[in-house]
Amino acid sequence: MLFLIALLAAIFGFLFGTDQGVISGALPLLKKEFVFTAQTEGFMTGAVPFGAIFGALLALLTVDKFGRRPVLTFCAILFAAGSFAAAAAFSVWSLTFARLVIGAAIGASSLVAPMYLAEIAPARIRGAVVSAFQLMITIGILAAFVVDWAFSFSGSWRYMLGFSLVPAVICLAGIFKAPESPRWLVLAGRDKAAREVLQTVQPEASPERLDKIVKEIEESRPSDPREESWSRFKEPALRGVLIFSVLAFFLQQFSGINVIMNYAPRILENAGFEGLANELVATIGIGALNVGVTILAMIVVDRLGRRPLFIFGFAGAFLSMALVAVLFHLNDNNLAWLSLVGLFSFVFFFAISLGPLPWLYMSELFPLALRGKGMAIASVSNWLCNFLVVFLFPTLAASLGEAMTFGLFSACCAFGLWYSWAFAPETRGLILEEVDQNIVRTSAGSVTA
């Protein structure tokens, strides 16, 4: 049951990935049908993360009031409607609007699905279960790249953009049978229902163990409305948690990952590869590596811990992106293969660390009473940074050159290496209520375990 629930919730990650990745292969075909400037290209491409900002805010207003499951149901409806509208687009602006709707669905679901997974999974495998969301993002991106390649020969960009309609309908059908988060049920005063859900997803747990979990959740439930107030983020410990979560997403996005995922064919063309089909095949390779290494991350995250992986990922991402920047500066077509090595290396370090860990940290660090608010702020920062990077890349590449642009991404990874070494906490093996006690309540202004 836990596997089926995790798979269903993680399908939202698949939709996230397909709708993020599909534009890379569709964009060259869209340019043949519609007129783009650097600004309209950037905004249409960045419409998904821009819409996600509003989706995250929508989730903030609804996730604690109505529950995790109803919000995910609404997200599935938005995914289906946006995918259909994108496939039927008749202008740049109608396509942009459709991608804004899809973005709203991604923004809300990317906040609620990791929260739902973290709240329903046993502590010993929570890292792997929540990382399943990131895994499905990478599988969705790979699926989008394969679909792009398959339809590139016929030039059918409408089929590319409409592909997400299928998993959206599957998700909508499945979410009706999924249980509500046991922690939200306790928050709503429905302790008996919460215990039944816990028993369903942890059938091996003894009655005493289940009683202990419910009791700990009850103890973390706010007895005073002031415990849920926004003003609590002024407290040193919670302010530290919030700053860490926001900066984790800032550094994730300004590593340059979504530039690679959204503009991969263009980057490969400028690196010396020729032909859209060849560029898309190389892009599929990037997507396949992303999937494989994310699976590896799921295996090691609960064994090695969060903090070592975060430091390791930033170190490798810095060196890889620096290599790409240097090769673009040299502008030697004979070194095109080495640019591909640099991109593959960067994706490896991102997928094992920078990709899944901010989502995992976000779902673990905030106490129950403030989890929705804290995750919403972190999620909005993610989507705002995502939009800025994707929107600005065509303009930056045209004005500064791609070598300098990738150099800036490399510098951000270098800062991330220092920041993760200085502040990254360790939450491996702790139940969420223990994370609250050991980090939030006992830290004195810094986010260290």
Looking at the domain assignment, is residue 190 inside a domain? no
Number of domains forming the structure of the chain? 1
Domain of residue 283: give its range. 2-178+222-440
Residue 114 CA to residue 131 CA, distance in Å, equals 8
Nearest to 378 by CA among 263, 248, 251: 248
Looking at the domain assignment, is residue 183 inside a domain? no
Residue type, 379: S
CATH number of residue 130's parent domain: 1.20.1250.20
Give the pLDDT of the chain (449 residues) as one tens digit per residue: 677 777 777 788 888 888 877 887 788 888 888 887 777 877 888 888 889 889 988 888 888 888 888 999 999 999 999 999 999 998 889 999 999 999 999 989 888 888 888 788 777 777 777 777 778 888 888 888 888 888 888 888 899 999 889 889 988 888 887 888 888 888 788 888 888 888 887 777 778 877 887 877 777 666 666 667 788 888 887 888 889 989 999 999 999 887 876 666 666 666 566 655 556 667 778 788 888 888 888 788 888 888 999 999 999 999 999 998 888 888 776 766 787 788 889 989 998 999 888 878 877 888 777 877 888 888 888 888 888 887 888 788 888 888 898 899 999 999 999 999 998 888 777 766 666 666 545 443 444 43
Q: Is the model's pTM score more than 0.85?
A: no
Looking at the domain assignment, is residue 195 inside a domain? no
Distance between the two ends of the chain, CA-based, in angstroms? 32
* Residues 356/294, Cβ–Cβ less than 8 Å: yes
* Residues 229/437, Cβ–Cβ less than 8 Å: no
Tokens linked to 426: 């360790």
- The Cβ of residue 151 has, within 10 Å, a number of other Cβ atoms equal to 20
Looking at the domain assignment, is residue 124 inside a domain? yes
Residue with tokens 């229902």: 193
